[in-house]
Structure 1
Amino acid sequence: MGNQRFVIPWIDEQHPAFPPVEQALKDPDGLLCAGGNLLPETLVSAYSQGIFPWYSDGQPLLWWSPDPRMILTPRTLHISRSMQKFMKKMCWKVTADQCFAQVIHACSIAPREDQNGTWITAEMQEAYIQLHQHGFAHSVEVHDESGELVGGLYGVALGRVFFGESMFSRASNASKVALIHLMQSGCFDLVDCQMHTPHLQTMGAECRPRSLFLKAVQTLTRQPAMPLIVGNGDAHNV
Protein backbone atom coordinates (compact mmCIF):
# COMPACT_ATOMS: atom_id res chain seq x y z
CA MET A 1 0.00 0.00 0.00
CA GLY A 2 3.04 2.25 0.19
CA ASN A 3 3.10 5.77 1.64
CA GLN A 4 0.54 7.34 -0.69
CA ARG A 5 -2.11 9.67 0.69
CA PHE A 6 -5.77 9.29 -0.17
CA VAL A 7 -8.83 11.43 0.45
CA ILE A 8 -11.18 9.14 2.37
CA PRO A 9 -13.53 9.60 5.34
CA TRP A 10 -12.23 9.13 8.87
CA ILE A 11 -14.77 7.30 11.04
CA ASP A 12 -15.20 7.76 14.79
CA GLU A 13 -13.16 5.47 17.02
CA GLN A 14 -15.81 5.06 19.70
CA HIS A 15 -18.90 4.87 17.50
CA PRO A 16 -17.76 3.89 14.00
CA ALA A 17 -20.28 4.19 11.17
CA PHE A 18 -19.17 3.03 7.74
CA PRO A 19 -19.93 5.10 4.64
CA PRO A 20 -21.73 3.41 1.70
CA VAL A 21 -19.38 1.04 -0.12
CA GLU A 22 -20.18 2.83 -3.37
CA GLN A 23 -17.95 5.64 -2.06
CA ALA A 24 -14.88 3.37 -2.08
CA LEU A 25 -11.99 4.49 -4.29
CA LYS A 26 -11.26 2.80 -7.58
CA ASP A 27 -7.53 3.32 -7.10
CA PRO A 28 -6.50 1.72 -4.85
CA ASP A 29 -9.43 -0.57 -5.52
CA GLY A 30 -11.89 -0.62 -2.66
CA LEU A 31 -10.29 1.72 -0.13
CA LEU A 32 -13.31 3.08 1.74
CA CYS A 33 -12.36 4.79 4.99
CA ALA A 34 -9.95 4.95 7.92
CA GLY A 35 -10.23 4.94 11.69
CA GLY A 36 -12.72 3.15 13.91
CA ASN A 37 -11.72 0.13 15.97
CA LEU A 38 -11.39 -3.66 15.79
CA LEU A 39 -13.94 -4.57 18.45
CA PRO A 40 -16.08 -7.66 17.68
CA GLU A 41 -19.23 -5.63 17.09
CA THR A 42 -17.39 -3.34 14.65
CA LEU A 43 -15.94 -6.27 12.70
CA VAL A 44 -19.31 -8.02 12.49
CA SER A 45 -20.93 -4.81 11.27
CA ALA A 46 -18.19 -4.34 8.66
CA TYR A 47 -18.35 -7.86 7.25
CA SER A 48 -22.13 -7.79 7.07
CA GLN A 49 -21.73 -4.75 4.77
CA GLY A 50 -19.02 -6.33 2.63
CA ILE A 51 -16.20 -4.37 4.30
CA PHE A 52 -12.98 -5.70 5.81
CA PRO A 53 -9.88 -4.21 7.50
CA TRP A 54 -6.48 -4.32 5.83
CA TYR A 55 -3.49 -2.22 6.83
CA SER A 56 0.16 -2.53 7.82
CA ASP A 57 2.12 -1.47 10.88
CA GLY A 58 2.61 2.29 10.87
CA GLN A 59 -0.62 2.91 8.96
CA PRO A 60 -4.02 3.93 10.33
CA LEU A 61 -6.75 1.32 10.45
CA LEU A 62 -7.99 1.09 6.83
CA TRP A 63 -11.25 -0.45 5.59
CA TRP A 64 -11.86 -1.90 2.12
CA SER A 65 -14.63 -3.08 -0.18
CA PRO A 66 -13.16 -3.86 -3.62
CA ASP A 67 -15.13 -4.06 -6.85
CA PRO A 68 -15.25 -6.61 -8.40
CA ARG A 69 -15.19 -9.18 -5.61
CA MET A 70 -13.68 -12.66 -5.90
CA ILE A 71 -15.99 -15.38 -4.57
CA LEU A 72 -16.08 -19.15 -4.38
CA THR A 73 -19.17 -21.36 -4.10
CA PRO A 74 -19.63 -25.12 -3.68
CA ARG A 75 -20.94 -25.18 -7.27
CA THR A 76 -17.88 -23.51 -8.77
CA LEU A 77 -15.28 -25.30 -6.62
CA HIS A 78 -12.78 -27.08 -8.87
CA ILE A 79 -10.71 -29.98 -7.56
CA SER A 80 -8.11 -31.14 -10.06
CA ARG A 81 -7.63 -34.83 -10.75
CA SER A 82 -4.21 -34.75 -9.15
CA MET A 83 -5.70 -33.14 -6.04
CA GLN A 84 -8.45 -35.74 -5.89
CA LYS A 85 -5.83 -38.51 -6.01
CA PHE A 86 -3.78 -36.74 -3.35
CA MET A 87 -6.73 -36.45 -0.98
CA LYS A 88 -7.63 -40.13 -1.38
CA LYS A 89 -4.13 -41.16 -0.33
CA MET A 90 -3.36 -38.59 2.35
CA CYS A 91 -3.34 -39.51 6.03
CA TRP A 92 -3.80 -35.98 7.34
CA LYS A 93 -6.43 -35.05 9.88
CA VAL A 94 -8.63 -32.02 9.22
CA THR A 95 -10.32 -30.21 12.13
CA ALA A 96 -12.23 -27.02 12.86
CA ASP A 97 -11.57 -24.47 15.60
CA GLN A 98 -9.04 -26.65 17.41
CA CYS A 99 -6.15 -24.17 17.34
CA PHE A 100 -7.37 -20.83 16.00
CA ALA A 101 -4.56 -18.77 17.53
CA GLN A 102 -1.90 -21.03 16.01
CA VAL A 103 -3.52 -20.77 12.57
CA ILE A 104 -3.71 -16.99 12.51
CA HIS A 105 -0.13 -16.74 13.76
CA ALA A 106 1.03 -19.16 11.07
CA CYS A 107 -0.78 -17.07 8.45
CA SER A 108 0.95 -13.94 9.75
CA ILE A 109 4.43 -15.35 9.21
CA ALA A 110 3.71 -17.26 5.99
CA PRO A 111 5.83 -15.85 3.13
CA ARG A 112 3.99 -13.90 0.41
CA GLU A 113 5.64 -13.45 -2.99
CA ASP A 114 4.04 -10.05 -3.57
CA GLN A 115 4.29 -8.63 -0.06
CA ASN A 116 6.99 -7.43 2.32
CA GLY A 117 6.09 -8.10 5.93
CA THR A 118 2.56 -8.87 7.01
CA TRP A 119 -0.78 -7.13 7.37
CA ILE A 120 -1.79 -9.65 10.07
CA THR A 121 -0.26 -7.55 12.81
CA ALA A 122 -0.30 -8.40 16.51
CA GLU A 123 -3.29 -6.04 16.85
CA MET A 124 -5.16 -7.88 14.10
CA GLN A 125 -4.37 -11.26 15.61
CA GLU A 126 -5.68 -10.17 18.99
CA ALA A 127 -8.85 -8.77 17.42
CA TYR A 128 -9.68 -11.96 15.50
CA ILE A 129 -8.89 -14.19 18.45
CA GLN A 130 -11.40 -12.14 20.40
CA LEU A 131 -13.87 -12.47 17.52
CA HIS A 132 -13.27 -16.22 17.58
CA GLN A 133 -14.07 -16.28 21.30
CA HIS A 134 -17.37 -14.55 20.47
CA GLY A 135 -18.19 -17.33 17.98
CA PHE A 136 -17.78 -15.40 14.72
CA ALA A 137 -14.24 -16.22 13.57
CA HIS A 138 -13.31 -19.80 12.69
CA SER A 139 -10.36 -21.83 11.55
CA VAL A 140 -9.82 -25.04 9.62
CA GLU A 141 -6.65 -26.93 10.51
CA VAL A 142 -4.69 -29.63 8.71
CA HIS A 143 -2.49 -31.93 10.80
CA ASP A 144 0.00 -34.45 9.46
CA GLU A 145 0.46 -38.03 10.69
CA SER A 146 2.48 -36.84 13.69
CA GLY A 147 -0.17 -34.31 14.66
CA GLU A 148 1.85 -31.31 13.53
CA LEU A 149 -0.08 -28.36 12.10
CA VAL A 150 0.90 -28.19 8.43
CA GLY A 151 -1.78 -25.95 6.95
CA GLY A 152 -5.01 -24.12 7.54
CA LEU A 153 -7.16 -21.08 7.04
CA TYR A 154 -9.28 -18.67 9.05
CA GLY A 155 -12.10 -16.24 8.44
CA VAL A 156 -15.38 -14.82 9.66
CA ALA A 157 -18.68 -16.69 9.43
CA LEU A 158 -22.05 -14.94 9.31
CA GLY A 159 -25.01 -17.12 8.46
CA ARG A 160 -24.24 -19.00 5.25
CA VAL A 161 -21.30 -16.77 4.26
CA PHE A 162 -17.66 -17.40 5.13
CA PHE A 163 -15.46 -14.32 4.72
CA GLY A 164 -12.03 -15.81 4.10
CA GLU A 165 -9.09 -13.91 5.55
CA SER A 166 -5.92 -15.91 5.03
CA MET A 167 -4.45 -19.39 4.66
CA PHE A 168 -1.03 -21.02 4.98
CA SER A 169 0.84 -24.19 4.02
CA ARG A 170 3.87 -25.81 5.56
CA ALA A 171 3.42 -28.85 3.33
CA SER A 172 2.41 -29.06 -0.32
CA ASN A 173 -1.38 -28.87 -0.85
CA ALA A 174 -2.16 -28.31 2.84
CA SER A 175 -4.02 -25.01 2.39
CA LYS A 176 -5.93 -26.50 -0.56
CA VAL A 177 -7.02 -29.39 1.63
CA ALA A 178 -8.29 -26.94 4.25
CA LEU A 179 -10.25 -24.92 1.69
CA ILE A 180 -11.75 -27.98 0.02
CA HIS A 181 -12.96 -29.33 3.35
CA LEU A 182 -14.45 -25.95 4.22
CA MET A 183 -16.31 -25.85 0.90
CA GLN A 184 -17.53 -29.43 1.29
CA SER A 185 -18.73 -28.92 4.87
CA GLY A 186 -22.19 -27.90 3.63
CA CYS A 187 -22.15 -24.89 5.95
CA PHE A 188 -21.64 -22.12 3.42
CA ASP A 189 -23.23 -21.11 0.14
CA LEU A 190 -20.65 -18.39 -0.47
CA VAL A 191 -17.01 -17.84 0.44
CA ASP A 192 -15.66 -14.31 0.08
CA CYS A 193 -12.11 -14.44 -1.29
CA GLN A 194 -11.89 -10.62 -1.28
CA MET A 195 -9.43 -9.99 -4.12
CA HIS A 196 -8.34 -11.88 -7.21
CA THR A 197 -5.48 -14.36 -6.92
CA PRO A 198 -4.41 -16.87 -9.60
CA HIS A 199 -4.25 -19.60 -6.92
CA LEU A 200 -7.92 -19.22 -5.96
CA GLN A 201 -8.95 -18.85 -9.60
CA THR A 202 -7.54 -22.32 -10.35
CA MET A 203 -9.81 -23.67 -7.61
CA GLY A 204 -12.91 -22.17 -9.15
CA ALA A 205 -13.11 -18.72 -7.59
CA GLU A 206 -14.68 -16.09 -9.84
CA CYS A 207 -14.88 -12.29 -9.85
CA ARG A 208 -18.35 -10.80 -9.52
CA PRO A 209 -19.57 -7.18 -9.39
CA ARG A 210 -19.62 -5.91 -5.83
CA SER A 211 -23.31 -5.07 -6.14
CA LEU A 212 -24.19 -8.72 -6.81
CA PHE A 213 -21.89 -9.88 -4.05
CA LEU A 214 -23.59 -7.56 -1.56
CA LYS A 215 -27.06 -8.75 -2.55
CA ALA A 216 -26.00 -12.32 -1.86
CA VAL A 217 -24.42 -11.30 1.46
CA GLN A 218 -27.58 -9.51 2.58
CA THR A 219 -29.62 -12.64 1.94
CA LEU A 220 -27.23 -15.35 3.10
CA THR A 221 -26.04 -13.71 6.32
CA ARG A 222 -29.64 -13.81 7.54
CA GLN A 223 -29.83 -17.59 7.06
CA PRO A 224 -29.39 -19.92 10.05
CA ALA A 225 -25.83 -21.11 10.61
CA MET A 226 -24.88 -24.78 10.77
CA PRO A 227 -22.35 -26.57 12.99
CA LEU A 228 -19.01 -26.54 11.20
CA ILE A 229 -17.92 -30.13 10.59
CA VAL A 230 -14.85 -30.73 8.46
CA GLY A 231 -12.87 -33.84 7.62
CA ASN A 232 -12.61 -36.27 10.49
CA GLY A 233 -12.55 -33.54 13.12
CA ASP A 234 -15.15 -32.47 15.65
CA ALA A 235 -18.23 -30.31 15.20
CA HIS A 236 -18.16 -26.73 16.36
CA ASN A 237 -20.99 -24.24 16.31
CA VAL A 238 -20.62 -21.50 13.73
Structure 2
Amino acid sequence: MIDISLIGIGTGNPDHLTAEAVKAMNAANLILLPRKGDAKSDLIDLRRDICAAMLSPSVHVVEFDLPVRASGTPDYLNAVAAWHDAIAHIWAEQIRRHLPTGGRLALLIWGDPSLYDSSLRIVERLSSIGMTTKVRVVPGITSIQALTAAHALSLNQLGAPITITTGRLLRTHGWPDHADTLVVMLDEGCAFEAIPPDGIHIWWGAYLGMAQQVLVEGPLSKVGQTIKAVRADSRARHGWIMDIYILRRR
Protein backbone atom coordinates (compact mmCIF):
# COMPACT_ATOMS: atom_id res chain seq x y z
CA MET A 1 0.00 0.00 0.00
CA ILE A 2 1.30 3.41 -1.00
CA ASP A 3 -0.27 6.46 0.65
CA ILE A 4 0.10 9.29 -1.85
CA SER A 5 -0.30 12.94 -0.86
CA LEU A 6 -0.72 15.41 -3.71
CA ILE A 7 0.20 18.69 -2.06
CA GLY A 8 -0.77 22.03 -3.57
CA ILE A 9 2.12 24.45 -3.07
CA GLY A 10 0.71 27.59 -4.68
CA THR A 11 2.28 29.58 -7.49
CA GLY A 12 5.91 29.61 -6.45
CA ASN A 13 5.88 31.70 -3.29
CA PRO A 14 6.85 29.61 -0.22
CA ASP A 15 4.43 31.74 1.82
CA HIS A 16 1.59 30.08 -0.14
CA LEU A 17 2.13 26.79 1.67
CA THR A 18 -0.56 26.04 4.21
CA ALA A 19 0.14 24.53 7.61
CA GLU A 20 -1.61 21.37 6.33
CA ALA A 21 0.81 21.23 3.37
CA VAL A 22 3.86 21.49 5.63
CA LYS A 23 2.52 18.73 7.89
CA ALA A 24 1.84 16.48 4.93
CA MET A 25 5.33 17.04 3.53
CA ASN A 26 6.95 16.09 6.82
CA ALA A 27 4.73 13.04 7.24
CA ALA A 28 6.05 11.57 3.97
CA ASN A 29 8.73 8.91 3.69
CA LEU A 30 9.53 10.01 0.14
CA ILE A 31 9.05 13.18 -1.92
CA LEU A 32 9.51 13.03 -5.69
CA LEU A 33 10.62 16.17 -7.55
CA PRO A 34 10.37 16.26 -11.36
CA ARG A 35 13.12 17.71 -13.54
CA LYS A 36 12.58 18.92 -17.10
CA GLY A 37 16.15 18.66 -18.35
CA ASP A 38 17.90 22.00 -18.53
CA ALA A 39 14.72 24.03 -19.03
CA LYS A 40 14.21 26.78 -16.48
CA SER A 41 10.46 26.38 -16.76
CA ASP A 42 10.43 23.34 -14.51
CA LEU A 43 11.07 25.59 -11.48
CA ILE A 44 12.95 22.75 -9.84
CA ASP A 45 14.96 25.20 -7.75
CA LEU A 46 11.80 26.52 -6.10
CA ARG A 47 10.76 23.01 -5.15
CA ARG A 48 14.25 22.37 -3.78
CA ASP A 49 14.11 25.60 -1.75
CA ILE A 50 10.70 24.68 -0.33
CA CYS A 51 11.99 21.25 0.71
CA ALA A 52 15.13 22.72 2.25
CA ALA A 53 13.13 25.22 4.28
CA MET A 54 10.22 23.02 5.36
CA LEU A 55 11.40 19.41 5.67
CA SER A 56 12.86 17.49 8.56
CA PRO A 57 16.03 15.48 7.76
CA SER A 58 14.10 12.21 7.95
CA VAL A 59 12.20 12.83 4.69
CA HIS A 60 13.92 11.36 1.64
CA VAL A 61 13.80 13.61 -1.45
CA VAL A 62 14.44 12.12 -4.88
CA GLU A 63 14.55 13.90 -8.24
CA PHE A 64 13.55 12.24 -11.49
CA ASP A 65 13.59 13.26 -15.15
CA LEU A 66 10.14 14.05 -16.49
CA PRO A 67 9.46 12.55 -19.94
CA VAL A 68 8.83 14.98 -22.78
CA ARG A 69 5.31 15.19 -24.19
CA ALA A 70 5.02 14.83 -27.94
CA SER A 71 4.29 18.25 -29.46
CA GLY A 72 2.98 19.31 -32.84
CA THR A 73 0.72 16.29 -33.15
CA PRO A 74 -2.92 16.87 -34.20
CA ASP A 75 -4.08 14.19 -31.77
CA TYR A 76 -3.54 16.27 -28.64
CA LEU A 77 -5.54 14.11 -26.22
CA ASN A 78 -3.83 10.85 -27.17
CA ALA A 79 -0.43 12.54 -26.94
CA VAL A 80 -1.25 13.70 -23.41
CA ALA A 81 -2.55 10.26 -22.45
CA ALA A 82 0.68 8.63 -23.64
CA TRP A 83 2.67 11.20 -21.66
CA HIS A 84 0.68 10.43 -18.52
CA ASP A 85 1.31 6.71 -19.02
CA ALA A 86 5.05 7.37 -19.23
CA ILE A 87 5.01 9.47 -16.05
CA ALA A 88 3.04 6.79 -14.17
CA HIS A 89 5.65 4.17 -15.05
CA ILE A 90 8.44 6.45 -13.81
CA TRP A 91 6.58 7.05 -10.54
CA ALA A 92 6.11 3.30 -10.15
CA GLU A 93 9.82 2.70 -10.77
CA GLN A 94 10.80 5.26 -8.13
CA ILE A 95 8.28 3.85 -5.63
CA ARG A 96 9.56 0.30 -6.08
CA ARG A 97 13.14 1.50 -5.69
CA HIS A 98 12.69 3.75 -2.66
CA LEU A 99 9.55 2.37 -0.95
CA PRO A 100 9.82 -1.37 -1.64
CA THR A 101 7.68 -2.31 1.37
CA GLY A 102 5.17 0.55 1.04
CA GLY A 103 4.94 3.87 2.78
CA ARG A 104 3.98 7.50 2.31
CA LEU A 105 4.78 9.34 -0.91
CA ALA A 106 4.29 13.07 -1.49
CA LEU A 107 4.34 15.10 -4.68
CA LEU A 108 4.47 18.89 -4.71
CA ILE A 109 1.93 20.26 -7.18
CA TRP A 110 1.93 23.82 -8.52
CA GLY A 111 -1.30 25.58 -7.61
CA ASP A 112 -3.87 22.97 -6.63
CA PRO A 113 -3.93 19.29 -7.69
CA SER A 114 -7.56 19.54 -8.81
CA LEU A 115 -7.30 22.49 -11.25
CA TYR A 116 -5.65 21.92 -14.64
CA ASP A 117 -3.23 19.43 -13.22
CA SER A 118 -2.95 15.77 -14.20
CA SER A 119 -1.46 14.25 -11.07
CA LEU A 120 -4.76 12.66 -10.04
CA ARG A 121 -5.14 11.05 -13.46
CA ILE A 122 -1.57 9.77 -13.28
CA VAL A 123 -2.16 8.25 -9.84
CA GLU A 124 -5.16 6.36 -11.26
CA ARG A 125 -2.82 4.68 -13.75
CA LEU A 126 -0.71 3.16 -10.98
CA SER A 127 -3.38 0.55 -10.24
CA SER A 128 -3.10 -0.77 -13.79
CA ILE A 129 0.61 -1.46 -13.25
CA GLY A 130 0.19 -3.40 -10.04
CA MET A 131 0.16 -0.77 -7.28
CA THR A 132 -2.38 -0.29 -4.53
CA THR A 133 -2.71 3.36 -3.57
CA LYS A 134 -4.64 5.59 -1.23
CA VAL A 135 -4.75 9.24 -2.33
CA ARG A 136 -5.00 12.40 -0.29
CA VAL A 137 -5.25 15.88 -1.84
CA VAL A 138 -3.95 18.86 0.11
CA PRO A 139 -5.44 21.97 -1.52
CA GLY A 140 -3.25 24.88 -2.53
CA ILE A 141 -3.55 28.47 -3.71
CA THR A 142 -4.30 28.51 -7.43
CA SER A 143 -3.03 30.94 -10.04
CA ILE A 144 -6.63 32.16 -10.36
CA GLN A 145 -6.66 33.21 -6.71
CA ALA A 146 -3.21 34.76 -7.02
CA LEU A 147 -4.32 36.74 -10.08
CA THR A 148 -7.55 38.09 -8.58
CA ALA A 149 -5.71 38.99 -5.37
CA ALA A 150 -2.94 40.77 -7.26
CA HIS A 151 -5.49 42.87 -9.17
CA ALA A 152 -7.84 43.24 -6.15
CA LEU A 153 -10.58 41.85 -8.40
CA SER A 154 -13.77 39.91 -7.66
CA LEU A 155 -13.82 36.95 -10.00
CA ASN A 156 -17.60 36.83 -10.35
CA GLN A 157 -20.14 39.49 -11.16
CA LEU A 158 -23.47 39.37 -9.35
CA GLY A 159 -25.54 36.49 -10.66
CA ALA A 160 -23.21 35.93 -13.60
CA PRO A 161 -21.33 32.72 -14.53
CA ILE A 162 -17.59 32.15 -14.80
CA THR A 163 -16.00 30.03 -17.52
CA ILE A 164 -12.53 28.52 -17.07
CA THR A 165 -10.86 27.52 -20.31
CA THR A 166 -7.49 27.12 -21.99
CA GLY A 167 -5.61 29.23 -24.49
CA ARG A 168 -5.81 26.40 -27.02
CA LEU A 169 -9.61 26.25 -26.84
CA LEU A 170 -9.99 30.05 -26.95
CA ARG A 171 -7.82 30.21 -30.05
CA THR A 172 -9.62 27.31 -31.74
CA HIS A 173 -13.26 28.02 -30.83
CA GLY A 174 -13.37 31.69 -29.87
CA TRP A 175 -15.45 33.19 -27.07
CA PRO A 176 -17.69 30.52 -25.49
CA ASP A 177 -21.43 30.96 -25.80
CA HIS A 178 -23.22 32.51 -22.82
CA ALA A 179 -19.94 33.44 -21.09
CA ASP A 180 -19.46 36.82 -19.43
CA THR A 181 -16.17 36.25 -17.61
CA LEU A 182 -13.42 33.97 -18.92
CA VAL A 183 -10.42 32.67 -17.00
CA VAL A 184 -7.80 31.60 -19.55
CA MET A 185 -5.09 29.20 -18.39
CA LEU A 186 -2.35 27.21 -20.11
CA ASP A 187 -1.98 29.73 -22.94
CA GLU A 188 1.17 29.12 -24.96
CA GLY A 189 1.05 32.63 -26.34
CA CYS A 190 -1.60 35.40 -26.35
CA ALA A 191 -4.65 33.47 -27.54
CA PHE A 192 -6.69 36.60 -26.79
CA GLU A 193 -5.54 37.85 -30.19
CA ALA A 194 -7.99 35.38 -31.75
CA ILE A 195 -11.06 37.26 -30.48
CA PRO A 196 -12.41 40.73 -31.36
CA PRO A 197 -11.07 43.04 -28.63
CA ASP A 198 -13.83 45.66 -28.57
CA GLY A 199 -15.77 45.71 -25.32
CA ILE A 200 -13.40 43.27 -23.59
CA HIS A 201 -11.42 44.05 -20.44
CA ILE A 202 -8.36 41.98 -19.49
CA TRP A 203 -6.53 41.36 -16.24
CA TRP A 204 -3.22 39.61 -16.99
CA GLY A 205 -0.43 38.40 -14.73
CA ALA A 206 2.76 36.36 -14.93
CA TYR A 207 5.06 34.88 -12.26
CA LEU A 208 2.25 35.43 -9.77
CA GLY A 209 3.38 35.50 -6.16
CA MET A 210 7.06 35.57 -7.13
CA ALA A 211 9.60 38.38 -6.95
CA GLN A 212 9.38 38.85 -10.73
CA GLN A 213 5.57 39.18 -10.78
CA VAL A 214 4.27 41.43 -13.56
CA LEU A 215 0.70 42.66 -14.08
CA VAL A 216 -1.18 44.45 -16.89
CA GLU A 217 -4.83 45.49 -16.84
CA GLY A 218 -7.10 47.49 -19.14
CA PRO A 219 -9.27 47.38 -22.28
CA LEU A 220 -8.03 44.56 -24.49
CA SER A 221 -8.00 46.85 -27.52
CA LYS A 222 -5.52 49.16 -25.75
CA VAL A 223 -3.30 46.81 -23.73
CA GLY A 224 -3.27 43.62 -25.82
CA GLN A 225 -0.09 44.54 -27.68
CA THR A 226 1.49 45.74 -24.43
CA ILE A 227 0.87 42.33 -22.86
CA LYS A 228 2.32 40.62 -25.91
CA ALA A 229 5.51 42.72 -25.70
CA VAL A 230 5.86 42.36 -21.92
CA ARG A 231 5.32 38.62 -22.18
CA ALA A 232 7.96 38.19 -24.88
CA ASP A 233 10.47 40.34 -22.98
CA SER A 234 9.85 38.51 -19.69
CA ARG A 235 10.23 35.11 -21.31
CA ALA A 236 13.48 36.15 -22.97
CA ARG A 237 14.92 37.46 -19.69
CA HIS A 238 13.87 34.57 -17.45
CA GLY A 239 13.92 31.70 -19.92
CA TRP A 240 10.35 30.66 -19.07
CA ILE A 241 6.96 32.16 -18.30
CA MET A 242 3.80 31.09 -16.49
CA ASP A 243 0.88 33.46 -17.02
CA ILE A 244 -2.89 33.59 -16.71
CA TYR A 245 -5.56 36.16 -17.49
CA ILE A 246 -9.21 37.05 -17.03
CA LEU A 247 -11.34 38.43 -19.85
CA ARG A 248 -14.67 40.15 -19.17
CA ARG A 249 -17.24 41.67 -21.46
CA ARG A 250 -18.08 45.22 -20.50
Whose helix fraction is larger, Structure 1's or Structure 2's?
2
Larger Rg: 2
When normalised by structure 1's length, the TM-score is 0.26
When normalised by structure 2's length, the TM-score is 0.25
